[in-house]
Amino acid sequence: MLKKICGLFLGLVVCIGSACVTPTHASSASSVIITHIQAGGVGAAREEFVVLYNTTADVIDISGWCLANKYEVTFFCFNSENTGYSLSGYSHAVIASEDIFETAPGLFEIPPYTYTVTNQSSGSIVGSSETLTIVDANKTSIDVKSWTSSLASGKMWARQVLLEEPRMYAILGGEADWTVETSGGIPLNEVVEYEKILPEDPGIDDSILSPVISELLPNPEGTDTGSEFIELYNPNQDHAVELANYTFRVGKSLEKTYTFPEDTALAPQGYRAFTNEEISFTLLNSTSSVQLYYNEVSVGEVVLYNEPASGMAWAYIGDSWVYTSTPTPNKQNLYTVLQQESDSSLLKPCAANQYRSPETNRCRSIETSQTTLTPCKENQYRSSETNRCRNIVQDDGPAPCKEGQERNPETNRCRNIVAMTQVGQGVKGAETVSEGVNWYLWLGIAGVVVAVLSYALWEWREETRA
């Protein structure tokens, strides 16, 4: 009981404070507000969800409403050609990334509306610093939530609940409205879908065809001012088309709307290009889109282009969109490719055994499958690896040793033969080699004879003295 009394007292204080405090967002912010935000979950930065709430008892049509981040990129919209979306009084709408719905489907009792994140690394909602905005079908800001610091893993921003039946959230417009909670306890997704009934516009004559977008020049050479253009084409043979009730939208999410100059008409089967100097639009040089509208009803398909090169026009030629190097404002579209820097007709002809390379525009020798080669010499052969002549390696044995030499089995070199000592008798099993007496033997004998004669002479001399 005490809890209910405190809740009623707090709700009364908030209501009084809300009447005295100027809202920090659009005047319709009290109708639909943001109540829960998760910018990156435990598993990955792409696990995101957002919850909206209708604070009134009335049914609010949210067809065409979008969520946008700080870069003004609308990453989700309640937008369908034949389906409308509404939010009953005191009910929630739940929008989640495909990543979190796939990894944690148990968080949602009723499947949420899903979207594909715009950035694979940081997601569509940056956890560290972000500004999340609800934008209605007229591109008016409904509610905004900003933050400049990251939450801990597994945490979410949650708006404070003041009353339960009917549920009342804090809407003072400051940081006091919010708390940090553990992710979970997400409200039910209670969006109601209905089939759109588009009334026929009595101002449209079925016999007259609507004009179409025929050419864009997003990235002109030189300055962009006065050079970017959007071209329309009138397919009617006998009827001019007034552009008084026509508009066109430009941007990644078609967020900006432009009108045509007054009293502008397209001649039958005529082309009319509007530059960004005549109408103050901007075509991004990266990726963007353009859509034509008649009384807020889209006409034809969205024209989407991606990374156009400098000077290349995005033109509808035949039955498809192509890039062409020849922009043709106010004229029939023409498909051309970039010309080479030099005209091939002015180049010197290649030789008979050459051809002109389409990549470098230079002459290159024609490779032939058979080539006449100079024969190798008698002591050479042609290598299969290098196609060159190589000397034939001789496999003959070493040259024989000279007379009086033998081959050493250890070094395989020739060496002198050492003679055996001569003996008086032949050795059995071996052949005795007969050689002459060496000179030093005779010298020894002569020495002995001289010694004997000298001794005899000395004895004779002693005897004669006696």
- Determine if the peptide bond prior to 400 is cis (ω within 30°): no
DSSP 177: G
Q: Which of 216, 204, 283 is nearest to 246 (CA)?
A: 204
Q: Phi-psi bin for 233: left (phi > 0), alpha (psi -120 to 50), beta?
A: beta
| SS3 state at 239 | coil
Render pLDDT for 54-82 as a digit per residue (tens, 0 to 9): 999 999 999 999 999 998 888 999 988 88
Give the pair of three-digit tokens for residue 56. Answer: 């009134």
**Rounded to an integer, what distance in angstroms lies between the CA atom of residue 54 and that of residue 62?**
10
- Determine if the peptide bond prior to 409 is cis (ω within 30°): no
**Rounded to an integer, what distance in angstroms lies between the CA atom of residue 279 and that of residue 50?**
37
CATH class of 212-324: mainly beta
DSSP 175: G
Architecture of 25-195 per CATH? Answer: Sandwich (2.60)
**Rounded to an integer, what distance in angstroms lies between the CA atom of residue 95 and that of residue 78?**
10
Sign of the C-alpha dihedral computed for residues 257, 261, 263 and 267 taken in this order: negative
Q: What is the pLDDT of residue 360?
A: 65
Q: How far is CA 268 from CA 206, 216, 245, 319, in A?
A: 16, 20, 18, 20
Q: Determine phi and psi for 245, rounding to 5 degrees.
A: -100, 10
Q: What is the pLDDT of residue 122?
A: 76
| Identical fold between 25-195 and 212-324 | yes
- DSSP one-letter string for 384-436: TTT--EEEPPP---PPPPPTTEEE-TTT--EEEPPPPPP-SSPPTTSPPPP-P
Q: What is the pLDDT of residue 372?
A: 61
Render pLDDT for 3-57 as a digit per residue (tens, 0 to 9): 444 444 444 444 444 444 333 333 344 699 999 999 975 557 889 999 999 999 9
Residues of the chain where predicted confidence (pLDDT) is lower than 50: 1-29, 340-344, 369-370, 423-424, 426-427, 429-434
Give the pair of three-digit tokens for residue 233. Answer: 């084409």
Q: What is the pLDDT of residue 63?
A: 94
Give the pair of three-digit tokens for residue 410. Answer: 């250890």
Q: Where are the domains of the chain?
A: 25-195, 212-324
Q: Which of 288, 225, 300, 219 is nearest to 253 (CA)?
A: 288
Q: What is the pLDDT of residue 347?
A: 67
**Rounded to an integer, what distance in angstroms lies between the CA atom of residue 381 and that of residue 377?**
8
Q: Which of 211, 219, 205 is nearest to 260 (CA)?
A: 211
Q: What is the pLDDT of residue 252?
A: 87
Q: What is the pLDDT of residue 376?
A: 84
Q: Determine phi and psi for 241, rounding to 5 degrees.
A: -120, 120
Q: Determine phi and psi for 107, rounding to 5 degrees.
A: -70, -20
CB atoms near residue 402 (< 10 Å): 8
Q: What is the pLDDT of residue 270?
A: 95
Determine contact, residues 356/362, Cβ cutoff 8 Å: yes
